[in-house]
């Protein structure tokens, strides 16, 4: 009671904070109080100009709401304006504030209270910014509402509505009026003992979000929305009011004359903004082609033009680069958008808008034509850069810029050997870096939009930029599991068990003025937005109330709660190139950074790089000629299935050639191996072979490789033989045991048996050269059972090389790859993983099943292989050389060896190659050739006859060919053959059929597969009667007794069905399904009309009894059989001829149907594959949140669940597909080549496949035709797919009849245009149009441009055109339509090609 009275007296005696002045905004007056904690006031150096009328109007509204006690919701396009407006308001009313950046990782802890363990083991609760704000009467700024998952925002609902919140420490925040009532009555705790705390009367919330739509994000929760007063921030106003990093707040109000170029560009930007705002339905449909400019566009242009006076006239290319720099989304926007903008620039008097790409190798790429000329140090933190002007007569621009503490790299560069070539392209990009740096912006280097190009020198640019300015550089390799909080700070546990926080490498860089390279920031999606405040304003919230702010006094800095950024701090962002630009180059990204489009090397520069690797000029010319053709052939649709052919890959080939320059190298093999050509889909493989031939690169006969031997301390691969050609032996030194004695003693594999063969010995030699001579890391891909592990282990054993081993799986996490976590006596200890051991001790490490782990996990090997760098989650770093204390140095002997199955179906792996980049030397592991396989089997089982071995090897060779051409869905490998031979060797009394069932019983319910298998076995003289269902049942029952059975009564009557009782019967004339009977249906009898088997031994009557059956009885039996068949056909509503015709069409593509069905079913399952969902309250303990578990948090578990799509990506919807067939008269006229028949078979394949799908709702498909009569002949309507065989036959019949009566003419282009338009209008998550045509393009006047425009009409619709007949003669098709146009000269390949195209399209993601 005494304590309560004392608290009341203190409260009554405490005076209210003094008033520092009166604020007048229009008709509102507000007495501004003194802040109790000045450290929580807005200290930003980038507040808005309060004299700007737009800002003033917004501030007036906010003050109105503040005085009414209402919370505010600012609806603003992405950018810093709304946040700066909120901070300006806080500064204006002298209010303390708290800030939370929302993203998908924010949970209840970040919004309520966190837990910490102090010294001595005491648990304390730490208030979140939200709780601090409500207790102390501060403004709470919540930014990024649209990024927070809907389940988390209701945590704040009661706080917003009633100013109430239950806290974990046992306290309960209540409304101040309610607290006053309770205080009056003397009640200070609830019935449960919770202490009441009043919400401060000055507590307010300012929420900030982008409108959804048009911007990506989660829609607002209605109860949450209803608690706010909304204010739309006009984009026009914010575009004009925002200021850049080095500009004063009044920069946009500068009364001096602005440059005409800036005036015109400002007008262009505002015009585009107005045009983008839909006011009616028609505008809403058409407005997406030209997105509005980002919020910071005008501020960037103003600062750039003021610092770098532009020439009197910009070239079209300079204008294009300038526009793309401030509006990077144009890099991936549609051609229509670029055309619209070009028209606007012309109308604005800016001139022609050219391509931002380099037009000539000598063109100056610097913005506005400037070029860096000189760099010199001014003081410890400053350098002076001189920029040469674009035209004579202009004065050079000299600017002081922030710099690092290290010695500046001399510039201009010293003549002599350098690690890079300072070409005009390189120096132009470097100039752009310096210009952005001089303006105070952080840099984002945007990769080329094309899926495959020459190198853009990304890593070298970042490195050289840092060296020229003396920066202490820090590279942070981003991986998908990193959360928003981990980007800023990380947990640690002290020796005594107390928990604490430490800064991330990014925050350490902010304090010490480093150049922080955020490599692969694109992989974390919208979470990158949580860095917007530290990037744009150089401010951020840290742990336990600590904060980085714009300015602070020395006394405040000494207290430790406030810190300021170092003026030299800068970040550079580069992308992983594993995601399409449209998924991460957003408005938010454009506002955070000064985006610079990268430029790939031109052929001459690339040739110089290859020449430096020691490659002859003649070979370089061939390689670059092919590379140009190959890169042009790739599109965004097929890049996931195809390997990029970048400069790094070409350098790898060149280095391989340079190792033995005197040899006549097989370029076909080197290129095919680098591109993993063996595993390309049929269509892409066909295109690749065409490109190789066009470049005069032809396939050669493979030489024979003798077995390797150990001789004179080296592993020797003897000279291969190929006719009269001469090759040299390859010598690889054995491993020096003294370099890793422990590893040599325990980690060198040992193999009892390895059967040498030519192909695998040759592969082993190539791998050994890569690993030991060239120092490359390797990835081996192949089907199951081809010997990937054995080949690597054999090589390690021969070399005496220690190796570590890790097997990945779907649940593998990045942390598990780095270390093992253990909790001992309340302290978390980390034990190095096999990967870190291999890095430290210089061992090989085999990463097995690399395709089974999530792609973002495998992605960490990219930086490790490419730069020898890795960022560990415990704060340690892996580096190629030691730069700081605690760095783990990569041993020069360390090598990564990734093993994986081939990409695509039936292997259930991920497309991990796209995230690895080109840092690995790729090898495809094949089954041995027939001769090698025969010798291998002979070594394994010499007791088997040579004839049997030859037949088995031939049969398995044909089985693999069946898989390659799509008639079989399983890739039979050497492993199956070896297991079969082992069985025959161990159990010689078993029949071949019994042994083969070990392999083929998997397909027992696939009769079409069993039939095909049987056909192949018979072709090789392997008569195996008992595979398939009948063989399986025969093995589980008694052997069929081939015994003649003569019934006592052999008289015959009329054929009949007989009675059914499902029991075994022999002889007699009553029961159906028996054996040895007379008139009834059964087996082995005399006069029944059909065969019917119900189990049991078969009693076969003598042939003599069968011969005595009278003709009229025989005829009666035949008639009954015909009637039974007709009854079956009546059920299908088909005539005999129709059934026969449909059966023929079906049989022709049965294998393709099964293969396509398997793929589509697998994709449907893959889309529903579950992932680890973190921050759960139950499930399995999450190793990455053990510290939180120690402090008592509940959300420390993970569970398997469906992955939520990234912001901006659609929820899973059907895939919309249209197939367009050519039904013109020429299809009938020239059907002698089978084009019409094959088209009908293809249609049947598609109809059967989609009818058999278990998840039919996954695909919305239809089928149309075009002829001389028009472009829209309906074959299969979208809403009525044929469900019966009769209906599918009618479609095939229609396809046959229409060409008979069609008029001459061609509507290919119109059919594609109509298809793309209608498919694109469907609400789906992917869109496809696949067309077939035999049009003679020249005859009908169809131009390349018309066809290309039709197929590219809607960028989101993936299109493909199969040209047959006369259409296949158009050689320009695959060149003008790379990845979309296909020539098929052999009409028999139509089903194969279409199946391959569809498989590739739908399996892109």
pLDDT of residue 1193: 63
Directed axis angle between helix 316-326 and helix 335-347, to 10°?
110
- pLDDT-derived band at 1198 (thresholds 50, 70, 90) equals low
Q: What three-state secondary structure class fits 1099?
A: strand
152-211 per-position pLDDT tens digit:
777 778 888 888 888 888 888 888 888 888 877 776 665 555 688 888 999 999 999 999
Alpha helical stretches, state H, 842-929? 855-858, 860-866, 913-916
Instruction: Please report which confidence band the pLDDT of residue 218 belongs to, taking 50, 70 and 90 as the band edges.
Output: confident
User: If DSSP codes are grouped into helix, strand and coil, which group holds residue 773?
Assistant: helix
User: Mapped to the 3 state alphabet, what secondary structure does 1299-1359 carry?
Assistant: HHHCCCCCCHHHHHHHHHHHHHCCCCCEEEEEEEECCCCCCCCCCHHHHHHHHCCCCCEEE
Strand-pair category, 877-879 with 1043-1044: unpaired
Q: Which two tokens stand for residue 1293?
A: 């019949």
* 8 A C-beta contact, residue 345 and residue 319: yes
- CA torsion sign for 1348, 1353, 1356, 1357 is negative
Q: How confident is the model at residue 444 (pLDDT cuts 50, 70, 90)?
A: very high
CA distance 104 to 1174: 11
CA distance 350 to 361: 25
Q: Can you tell me whether residue 440 is helix, strand or coil?
A: coil
961-984 mean pLDDT:
85
Residue 850: the pLDDT is 87
Q: Determine the Cα–Cα distance for residues 860 and 817; give it in Å rounded to an integer.
A: 9
**What pLDDT score was predicted for residue 1054?**
63
Cis peptide before 213 (omega within 30 of 0): yes
Q: In what order do the strands lie in the sheet with 547-548?
A: 540-541, 547-548, 562-563
The string of DSSP letters for 1212-1278 reads P-PEEEEEEEE-SHHHHHTGGGSHHHHHHHHHHHHHHHHHH-S-GGGEEEEEEEEETTEEEEEEE-T
Q: Measure the CA–CA gap between 410 and 407, rounded to whole angstroms.
A: 9
Percent of the chain past pLDDT 90, that is, above it, reads 27
Q: Is 756 exposed, middle or buried (0-12, 13-18, 19+ CB in 10 A)?
A: middle
Cα separation, 581 vs 328, in Å, equals 10
837 closest CA partner among 897, 894, 876: 894
pLDDT for residue 18: 85
Q: Is 894 helix (H, G, I), strand (E, B) or coil?
A: coil
Give the mean model confidence (pLDDT) for residues 699-713: 88
CA triplet 777, 780, 786: central angle to 5 degrees? Answer: 150
Distance CA 909, CA 901 (A): 7
The confidence score (pLDDT) of residue 75 equals 95
Residue 163 gets the label, from left (phi > 0), alpha (psi -120 to 50) or beta, of left
Q: What is the CA radius of gyration of the chain?
A: 37
d(CA 1265, CA 1219): 8
pLDDT tens, position by position, 823-861: 566 566 667 788 989 999 999 999 998 888 877 788 788
- The pLDDT value given to residue 1318: 93
Are the C-beta atoms of residues 765 and 729 closer than 8 Å to each other?
no
* pLDDT tens readout for residues 1187-1197: 566 565 656 55
Using an 8 Å Cβ cutoff, are 539 and 569 in contact? Answer: no
Q: What token pair was written down for 1114?
A: 């025989």
Q: How many whole angstroms separate alpha carbon 689 and alpha carbon 333?
A: 32
Of 31-40, 128-137, 327-336, 1114-1123, give the lowest mean pLDDT range.
Answer: 1114-1123
Which sign does the torsion angle of CA 22, 25, 30, 32 carry? negative
Q: Could you give the 3-state DSSP secondary structure of residue 24? A: strand
Residue-by-residue DSSP string for 1281-1305: ---SHHHHHHHHHHHHHHHHHPPS-
The DSSP element (H or E) to which 54 belongs, if any, is helix 53-67
Confidence (pLDDT) at 1042: 46
Quick one: which H or E segment has residue 158?
helix 157-162
Pairing status of strand 1099-1100 against strand 730-733: unpaired
Average of per-residue pLDDT across 555-582: 89
CA distance 751 to 803: 14
DSSP 3-state percent helix, strand, coil across the chain (nearest 5): 40, 20, 40
pLDDT tier at 120 (50, 70, 90 boundaries)?
confident
pLDDT of 516 strictly over 80: yes
The answer, yes or no, to whether residue 1104 has pLDDT greater than 80, is no
pLDDT digits (tens, 9 = 90+) for 8-34: 544 544 567 888 889 998 889 999 999
If residue 632 lies in a helix (H) or strand (E), which one and from where to where?
A: helix 617-633
Burial class (CB in 10 A: 0-12, 13-18, 19+), 885: exposed
Is residue 1062 very low, low, confident or very high in pLDDT (cuts 50, 70, 90)?
Answer: low
Find the range with the poorest average confidence among 136-145, 367-376, 461-470, 1168-1177: 1168-1177
Cα angle 181, 185, 188 (rounded to 5 degrees) comes to 85
pLDDT for residue 770 = 92
DSSP-derived 3-state class of residue 837? helix
Q: Give yes or no for a contact between 179 and 135, defined as CB atoms under 8 angstroms apart.
A: no
At a CB cut-off of 8 Å and minimum separation 6, what does 273 contact?
235, 236, 239, 292, 293
CB distance 3 to 11 below 8 Å: no
Q: Is the pLDDT of residue 1172 over 80?
A: no
Mean pLDDT of 130-149: 90
Band (689; pLDDT cuts 50, 70, 90): confident
First-last CA distance in the chain:
68
- Which pLDDT score is estimated for 684? 78
Give the pLDDT of residue 1146: 84
Average pLDDT over residues 1311-1329: 90
Q: Please give the pLDDT value at position 1212.
A: 63
Per-residue model confidence as pLDDT tens digits over 761-792: 989 999 999 999 999 999 998 888 888 899 99
Q: Tell me the whole-structure pTM to 2 decimals.
A: 0.79
What is the C-alpha to C-alpha distance for residues 475 and 869, in angstroms, rounded to an integer? Answer: 8
- Tell me which of 784-798, 945-959, 1202-1216 is least confident: 1202-1216
**In whole numbers, what is the pLDDT of the chain averaged over residues?**
82
Q: Are 211 and 75 in contact (CB under 8 A)?
A: yes
C-alpha closest to that of 1333 among 1288, 1378, 1380: 1380
> Could you tell me which residue, 62 or 725, shows the higher pLDDT?
62
pLDDT in tens, 1222-1257: 998 888 888 778 888 888 988 998 899 889 888 788
Of 91-100, 729-738, 1365-1374, minimum mean pLDDT range: 1365-1374
Kindly report the backbone phi and psi dihedral angles of residue 270, in degrees, each rounded to the nearest multiple of 5, phi listed first.
-70, -40
Q: Whole-angstrom Cα distance, residue 1402 to residue 1405?
A: 8
Cβ neighbours, 10 Å, residue 618? 8
- Higher per-residue confidence, 657 vs 1099: 657
SS (H, E, C) 674-724: HCCHHHCCHHHHHHHHHHHHHCCCCCCCCCECCCCEEECCEEEECCCEECC
To which residue do tokens 């299969």 refer? 1276
**Torsion angle of the four alpha carbons 969, 974, 978, 981, in this order, in degrees rounded to the nearest 10:** 70
pLDDT category at 1040 given cuts 50, 70, 90 is: very low
Q: Which alpha helices (DSSP H) does 469-583 contain, by range?
A: 505-512, 532-536, 554-559
- Both tokens assigned to 972: 């039979």
| pLDDT for residue 618 is more than 80 | yes
Position 1299 pLDDT exceeds 80: yes
Q: Which pLDDT does position 1338 carry in this prediction?
A: 79
* Pairing mode of beta strands 1259-1267, 1215-1222: parallel
CA-CA distance, 316 to 662, in Å (whole number)?
A: 48
- Higher-scoring residue by pLDDT: 1366, 1191: 1366
pLDDT higher than threshold 90 for residue 398: yes
Question: Could you report the per-residue pLDDT of 29-86, keeping only the tens digit for each?
Answer: 999 999 989 889 998 888 998 989 999 999 999 999 999 999 999 999 999 999 999 9
Q: What's the confidence (pLDDT) of residue 434?
A: 96
DSSP character at residue 769: I
The 3-state DSSP class for residue 1377 equals: coil
């Amino acid at each position: 009671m005494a304590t309560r009275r004392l608290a009341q007296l203190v409260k009554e005696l405490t005076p209210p904070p003094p008033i520092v002045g009166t604020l007048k905004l229009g008709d509102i007056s507000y007495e501004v109080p003194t802040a109790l904690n000045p450290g929580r006031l807005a200290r930003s150096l980038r507040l808005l100009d309060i004299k700007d009328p737009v800002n003033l109007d917004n501030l007036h509204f906010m003050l109105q709401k503040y005085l009414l006690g209402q919370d505010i919701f600012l609806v603003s396009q992405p950018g810093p304006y709304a946040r700066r407006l909120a901070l300006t308001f806080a500064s204006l009313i002298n209010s303390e504030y708290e800030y939370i950046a929302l993203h998908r990782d924010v949970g209840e802890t970040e919004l309520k209270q966190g837990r910490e363990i102090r010294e001595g083991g005491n648990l304390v609760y730490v208030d979140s910014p939200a709780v601090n704000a409500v207790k102390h009467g501060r403004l709470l700024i919540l930014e990024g509402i649209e990024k927070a998952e809907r389940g988390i925002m209701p945590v704040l609902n009661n706080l917003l509505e009633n100013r109430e919140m239950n806290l974990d420490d046992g306290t309960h925040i209540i409304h101040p009026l309610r607290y006053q009532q309770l205080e009056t009555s003397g009640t200070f705790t609830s019935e449960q003992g919770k202490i009441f705390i009043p919400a401060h009367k000055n507590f307010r919330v300012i929420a900030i979000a982008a409108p959804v739509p048009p911007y990506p994000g989660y829609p607002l929760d209605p109860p949450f929305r209803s608690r706010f007063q909304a204010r739309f921030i006009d984009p026009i106003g914010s575009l004009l009011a925002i200021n850049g990093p080095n500009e004063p707040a009044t920069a946009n109000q500068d009364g001096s004359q602005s440059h005409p170029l800036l005036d015109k560009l400002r007008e262009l930007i505002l015009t585009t903004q107005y045009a983008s705002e839909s006011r009616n339905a028609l505008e809403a449909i058409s407005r997406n082609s030209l997105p509005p400019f980002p919020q910071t566009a005008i501020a960037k242009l103003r600062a750039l033009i003021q610092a770098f006076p532009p020439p009197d006239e910009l070239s079209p290319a300079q204008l294009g680069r300038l526009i793309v720099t401030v509006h990077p989304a144009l890099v991936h926007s549609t051609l229509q958008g670029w055309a619209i903008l070009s028209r606007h620039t012309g109308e604005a008097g800016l001139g022609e808008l050219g391509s931002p790409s380099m037009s000539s190798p000598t063109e100056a790429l610097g913005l506005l034509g400037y070029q860096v000329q000189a760099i010199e140090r001014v003081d410890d933190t400053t350098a002076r850069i001189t920029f040469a002007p674009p035209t004579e007569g202009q004065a050079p621009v000299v600017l002081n810029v922030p710099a690092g503490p290290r010695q500046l790299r001399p510039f201009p560069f010293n003549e002599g050997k350098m690690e890079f070539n300072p070409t005009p392209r390189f120096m132009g990009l470097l100039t752009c870096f310096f210009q952005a740096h001089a303006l105070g912006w952080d840099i984002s280097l945007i990769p080329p939009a094309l899926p495959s190009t020459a190198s853009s020198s990304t890593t070298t640019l970042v490195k050289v930029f840092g060296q020229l300015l003396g920066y202490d550089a820090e590279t942070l390799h981003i991986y998908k599991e990193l959360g928003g909080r981990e980007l800023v700070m990380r947990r640690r546990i002290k020796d005594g068990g107390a928990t604490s926080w430490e800064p991330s490498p990014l925050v350490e860089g902010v304090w010490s003025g480093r150049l922080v390279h955020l490599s692969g920031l694109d992989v974390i999606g919208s979470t990158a937005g949580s860095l917007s405040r530290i990037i744009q304003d150089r401010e951020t919230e840290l742990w336990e109330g600590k904060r980085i702010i714009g300015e602070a006094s020395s006394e405040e800095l000494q207290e430790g709660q406030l810190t300021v950024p170092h003026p030299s701090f800068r970040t550079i962002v580069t992308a992983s190139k594993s995601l399409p630009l449209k998924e991460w180059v957003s408005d938010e990204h454009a506002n955070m950074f000064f985006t610079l489009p990268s430029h790939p090397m031109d052929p001459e520069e690339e040739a110089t790089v290859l020449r430096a690797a020691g490659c002859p000029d003649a070979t370089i010319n061939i390689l670059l000629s092919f590379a140009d053709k190959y890169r042009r052939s790739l599109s965004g649709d097929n890049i996931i299935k195809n390997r990029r052919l970048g400069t790094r890959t070409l350098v790898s080939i060149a280095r391989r050639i340079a190792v033995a320059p005197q040899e006549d190298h097989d370029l076909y093999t080197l290129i095919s191996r680098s591109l993993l050509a063996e595993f390309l889909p049929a269509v892409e493989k066909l295109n690749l072979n065409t490109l190789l031939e066009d470049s005069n690169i032809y396939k050669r006969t493979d030489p024979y490789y003798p077995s390797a031997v150990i001789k004179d301390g080296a592993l020797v691969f003897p000279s291969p033989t190929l006719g009269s050609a001469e090759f040299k032996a390859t010598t690889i030194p054995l491993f020096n045991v003294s370099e890793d004695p422990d590893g040599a003693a325990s980690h060198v594999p040992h193999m009892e048996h390895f059967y040498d063969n030519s192909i695998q010995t040759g592969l082993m030699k190539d791998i050994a050269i890569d690993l030991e001579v060239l120092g490359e890391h390797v990835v081996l891909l192949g089907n199951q059972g081809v010997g990937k592990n054995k080949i690597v282990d054999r090589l390690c054993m021969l070399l005496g090389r220690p190796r570590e081993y890790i097997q990945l799986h779907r649940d593998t996490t990045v942390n598990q790859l780095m270390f093992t976590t253990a909790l001992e006596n309340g302290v978390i200890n980390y034990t190095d993983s096999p990967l870190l051991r291999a890095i430290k001790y210089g061992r090989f490490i085999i990463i097995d099943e690399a395709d089974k782990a999530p792609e973002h996990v495998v992605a960490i090997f990219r930086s490790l292989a490419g730069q020898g760098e890795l960022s560990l989650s415990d704060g340690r770093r892996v580096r190629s050389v030691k730069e700081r204390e605690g760095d783990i140095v990569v041993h020069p002997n360390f090598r990564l060896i990734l093993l994986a199955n081939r990409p695509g179906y039936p292997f259930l792996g991920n497309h991990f190659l796209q995230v690895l980049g080109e840092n690995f030397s790729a090898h495809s592991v094949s089954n041995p050739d027939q001769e090698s396989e025969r010798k291998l089997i002979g070594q394994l089982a010499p007791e088997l006859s040579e004839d049997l071995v030859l037949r088995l090897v031939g049969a398995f060779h044909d089985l693999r060919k069946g898989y390659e051409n799509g008639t079989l869905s399983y890739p039979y490998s050497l492993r199956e053959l070896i297991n079969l031979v082992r069985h025959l060797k161990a159990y010689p009394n078993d029949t071949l059929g019994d042994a083969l069932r070990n392999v083929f019983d998997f397909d027992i319910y696939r009769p079409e597969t069993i039939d095909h298998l049987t056909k192949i076995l018979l072709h090789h003289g392997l008569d195996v009667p008992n595979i398939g269902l009948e063989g399986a049942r025969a093995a589980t029952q008694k052997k069929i007794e081939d015994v003649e059975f003569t019934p006592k009564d052999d008289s015959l009557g009329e054929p009949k069905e007989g009675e059914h009782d499902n029991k075994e019967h022999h002889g007699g004339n009553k029961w159906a399904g028996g054996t040895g009977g007379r008139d009834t249906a059964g087996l082995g009898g005399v006069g029944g009309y059909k065969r019917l088997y119900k189990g049991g031994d078969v009693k076969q009557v003598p042939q003599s009894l069968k011969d005595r059956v009278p003709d009229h009885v025989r005829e009666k039996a035949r008639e009954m059989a015909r009637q039974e068949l007709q009854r079956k056909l009546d059920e299908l509503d088909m005539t005999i001829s129709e059934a026969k015709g449909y059966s023929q069409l079906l049989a022709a593509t049965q294998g393709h149907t099964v293969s396509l069905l398997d793929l589509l079913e697998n994709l449907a399952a893959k889309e529903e594959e579950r992932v680890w969902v973190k921050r759960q309250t139950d499930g399995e303990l999450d190793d990455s949140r053990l510290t939180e578990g120690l402090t008592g948090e509940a959300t420390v578990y993970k569970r398997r669940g469906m992955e939520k799509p990234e912001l901006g990506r659609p929820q899973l919807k059907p895939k919309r597909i249209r197939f367009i067939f050519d039904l013109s008269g020429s299809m009938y006229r020239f059907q002698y080549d089978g084009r019409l028949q094959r088209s009908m078979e293809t249609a049947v394949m598609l109809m059967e496949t989609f009818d058999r799908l278990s998840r039919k709702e996954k695909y919305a498909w239809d089928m149309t035709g075009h002829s001389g009569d028009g472009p829209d002949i309906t074959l299969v309507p979208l809403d009525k797919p044929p469900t019966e065989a009769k209906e599918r036959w009618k479609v095939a019949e229609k396809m046959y009849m229409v060409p008979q009566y069609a008029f001459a003419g061609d509507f290919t282009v119109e059919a594609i245009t109509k298809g793309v338009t209608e498919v694109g209008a469907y609400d789906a998550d992917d869109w496809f149009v696949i067309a077939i045509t035999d049009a003679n393009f020249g005859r009908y006047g169809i131009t390349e441009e018309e066809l290309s425009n039709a197929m590219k009409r809607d960028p989101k619709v993936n299109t493909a055109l199969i040209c047959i007949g006369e259409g296949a003669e158009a050689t320009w098709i695959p060149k003008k339509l790379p990845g979309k146009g296909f020539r098929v000269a052999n009409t028999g390949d139509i089903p194969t090609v279409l199946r391959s195209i569809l498989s590739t399209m739908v399996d892109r993601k």
